[in-house]
Amino acid sequence: MVLLSPKNKFLIWGGNGWVAGHLKMILEKRGKDVVTTTVRMEDRESVLKTLDELKPTHVLNAAGCTGRPNVDWCEDNKEATIRSNVIGSLNLTDCCYLKGIHCTVFATGCIYEYDEKHKIGGEGFREEEEANFAGSFYSATKSKVEEIMKTYPNVLILRLRMPVSDDLHARNFVTKISQYDRVVDIPNSNTILTDLLPASIILAENSELGVYNFTNPGAISHNEVLSLFKKYVRPDFEWKNFTIEEQSKVIKAGRSNCMLDTSKLVNKLKEYGYTVPEIHDAYEQCFIRMAQGGAT
């Protein structure tokens, strides 16, 4: 007798979100069974009911309070931020645990900042290193929750940073920095969604667990990103820089600048024959796709 493994069913939480939309598209393109929900994560009764009704094998949690127009919003709305990013995300994880469902969390790597041990151009932050950036309330909630959430045996935590899509969506890191009056120029780890989101499906499908820095390998500075943007997408693009000190005068919350160590991710994905390109190569390919897609 051949025993068939039960077919995977993906449930994406935060169904109207930017990352959620990309995940849905990727899963549908691959012919996977996928549904979405916008049920509030903190509403325990509704979360349990949704899990019972939809019976997913895998939850992809792309819900979270990110603030509009940006994370500065979280500084003035701390209770609402806690309700989603602390109470909500822990509640959803716990409900998945009780129902025996694998839960992939689209988390953030903006919980570190360069320090003596991790200088610009030096070694990146590894997954097990304690967060050292709490300059924004958003980041503070995310790092504290990750610390607790990783205790659960059903959870895969993927730390994205400055995600970039192949279009000029308002959430795209490139769109953001191309619209600022002035930008800082600091190397950072970035997540090119076209490279990383398919990898998240591989890891989820194989029920991988634990915390992963979820960015392309390496770090790229704002000026390097914008130079490539100018080269491939918008030849007449110009920008101006300012210092971190000058930046701090026009933003409410601090911003994390760091490089994450991606060796754990790269080695794990090797097991599945999947390669994530280095960030400079990845940006070139991304901007070529962007230009071909008509974005200018």
Ligand X SMILES: NC(=O)c1ccc[n+]([C@@H]2O[C@H](COP(=O)([O-])OP(=O)(O)OC[C@H]3O[C@@H](n4cnc5c(N)ncnc54)[C@H](OP(=O)(O)O)[C@@H]3O)[C@@H](O)[C@H]2O)c1
Q: Which residues in this chain contact ligand X in the complex, by CB under 6 A?
A: 14, 16-20, 40-42, 62-66, 84, 88, 106, 108, 160-161, 163, 171
Q: How far is the CB of 277 from ligand X (least distance, A)?
A: 19
- Minimum distance from CB of 7 to ligand X (Å)? 26
Q: Which is nearer to ligand X, 14 or 218 (by Cβ)?
A: 14
| CB nearer to ligand X: pick between 106 and 232 | 106
Q: How far is the CB of 3 from ligand X (least distance, A)?
A: 36
Minimum CB distance to ligand X, residue 186 (Å): 16
Instruction: Give the 3-state secondary structure of residue 220.
Output: strand
Nearer to ligand X, 47 or 290 (CB): 47
Which stretch of DSSP H or E encloses residue 51? helix 44-54
Cβ proximity to ligand X: between 74 and 228 the closer is 74
Long-range contacts, stretch 113-122, CB < 8 angstroms, 24+ apart: 113/256, 113/257, 113/258, 114/257, 114/258, 114/259, 118/258, 118/259, 120/186, 120/187, 120/219, 120/259, 121/187
Burial of 248 (0-12, 13-18, 19+ CB in 10 A): middle
Q: How far is CA 71 from CA 68, 135, 136, 141, 180, in A?
A: 7, 11, 8, 12, 15
Of 40 and 234, nearer to ligand X (C-beta) is 40
Output the smallest distance, CB 49 to ligand X, in A.
14
DSSP state at residue 37: E
- Which CB atom, from 4 or from 133, has the smaller least distance to ligand X? 133
Exposure pattern of 79-98 as b/e (b: 16+ CB <10 Å)? eebbbbbbbbbbbbbbbbbe
Minimum CB separation of residue 84 from ligand X in Å reads: 3
